[in-house]
Structure 1
C-alpha cells in the first residue's frame, strides 16, 4: 500500500509507516505523533484475533482492515453473500413442498428460481447501497462541504456485509426460531454497515445510523415494488 494510505487505528490520523525495520529481524511499531499510541498494534496480532475484534465491531480492528491492509476480496465476498441470501430464499420457496421422489430435487436445481432470487437479492443490495451513498453524498459532499471517497466507502460497505454468510448455518440448523435468527443476522449486518461508515468518514454514530436507515428504507421500497408492480418483476424473474 502507499504510505499516505496508512491511518492510526486510535485517532484516525494519517501515518507515514506502520513499523520501522532496524534489520536483523528487529521491528518497532511506529508511534502516532497525534495520540502518542502505536499506529497499528494489530500488525503483531494473529488474524484470528483481528477477525474476532472485527466481528465485535471494534473501531480499531475495522480501521486496521480498511486502511492498513491490502485486503481486496470485497467483490468476491459480495457475490458469496448474495449467493447465501439467494440460497436461503430459494430453500424457503421449495422447503414447503415435500416430496419423496429424488428426481424432484434434480428438477428444482435445474429451475431458474435460484437465479431469480439471486437477481432480486442483488437488486435490493444495490438499492441499499444507492440510498446510503446518495444520503452521504448529499450530507457530507454538499451540506458539509467535505470530500466523499465513494470507492473506499463502497469497499467498506461490501466488506461489512460479511454477516450474511451466517445465513447458511441458519438454513442448515433449522428450528422454530428461524425468523428471529434471520432478524438478528440482518440487525448484525446493519450494525456492521453503520460502524464501517463511521470508520471511513470519522463521523458521529447518528449520521451513520441515519444513512443505514435510509438505505434500508430504499431496499424495502424496491423489494415491495418488485412484488406489487402490475407486470410483476418477481414473477418474470423467478418464472413462478
Structure 2
C-alpha cells in the first residue's frame, strides 16, 4: 500500500487516530529519505501503517482496530473493489452450496457427466443469492444511516462525507464472509455455531467501519443500524432462497 504526497495532484488523507483531514502523510526528500507528518489536531502520526508490513495491517484489521480500518478505507487508495466483491460472492456462494448439500437440500450432479460444472445449477442460484444478500445489506444500512442523519440534527452526529465512503465501508467490512470457508474445511456437520459466530463478527466489523465513516455517532446508534440492516437483509435473502429452491 502506497500513500504520500504527489507533485502531480493533491491527495486527501485522514489521521488514523482522530480522523482529521490531511493533505499528505509524509514528505519525500528523495534518495529514500522521508519524514512522517503529524496531525495538527491530535499531534500523533497521521498514518503509522505506511511503514507497516501488509501482514501486520491485515491482522489489525481482523482485530477490528479502527486505526487500521481507517488506513484501509481512506489512506491506502485501494483499487479493484469489484475483484474484492467477486471474491466475497464466490466464497459465500460456495459455502451456501456446501451447507445445502450437507443438509440434503441439493442433490449433487453425477460427476461422470462431461458438463458436470455447467449443470451445477445450485451454484449459480447461490451466486445470485450471495449477490442479493450483499446488495440488500449495503442498501438497508445506507438507507438507515441516511434516515438517522435526517432525524439527528446534531453537528456532532453528521452524516458521512459521501455515499461512496459509506458503501465502501460496509462492503470492505464484510470480509468475514471469507472466513466462513473454514467451516467447510472443518466439516459442515457441526458448523452451525461457527457460522453464527462469523455472522456476529461481520456485524461487529460493520459497526467498527461505520464508526470510522461516521465520526461522532454513538455506538448504540451505529450498532442498532448494523443489527437492523443484517436482520432486514436476512429476511430478503430467506425470501429469495425460498423462491429459488422452493424450501
Return the TM-score normalized by structure 2.
0.84
Determine if the alignment matches structure 1 residue 63 to structure 2 residue 70: yes
1:86 Cα offset (Å):
1.0
Once residues 125 and 26 of structure 1 are traced to their aligned partners in structure 2, the CA distance between those partners, rounded to angstroms, is 43
Question: How many residues are aligned here?
Answer: 233
* Contact 2:166/2:213, CA 8 A, preserved across alignment: yes
CA displacement 1:177-200 (0-9 Å, x = unmatched): 311111111111111111111101
**Shift in Å, 1:109:** 5.7
Mapped partners of 2:114, 2:176: distance in 1? 28
2:145 counterpart of 1:136: yes
Q: State the partner residue of 2:42.
A: 35
> What pairs up with 1:1-240 in 2 under 5 angstroms?
3=10, 5-95=12-102, 96=104, 102-103=111-112, 107=116, 110-141=119-150, 143-144=152-153, 146-148=158-160, 149-174=162-187, 176-202=189-215, 203-226=217-240, 233-235=243-245
SS at match of 1:20: strand
Deviations 1:109-139 (A, max 9, x none): 6231111111122112222111111110011
- Which structure 1 residue ranges, 5 or more long, are not aligned? none
Deviation at 1:104, TM superposition (A): 7.0
Larger proportion of helix: 1
Residue 35 of structure 2 aligns to a residue in which SS?
A: strand
Change beyond 3 A, Cα 1:4–1:14: farther
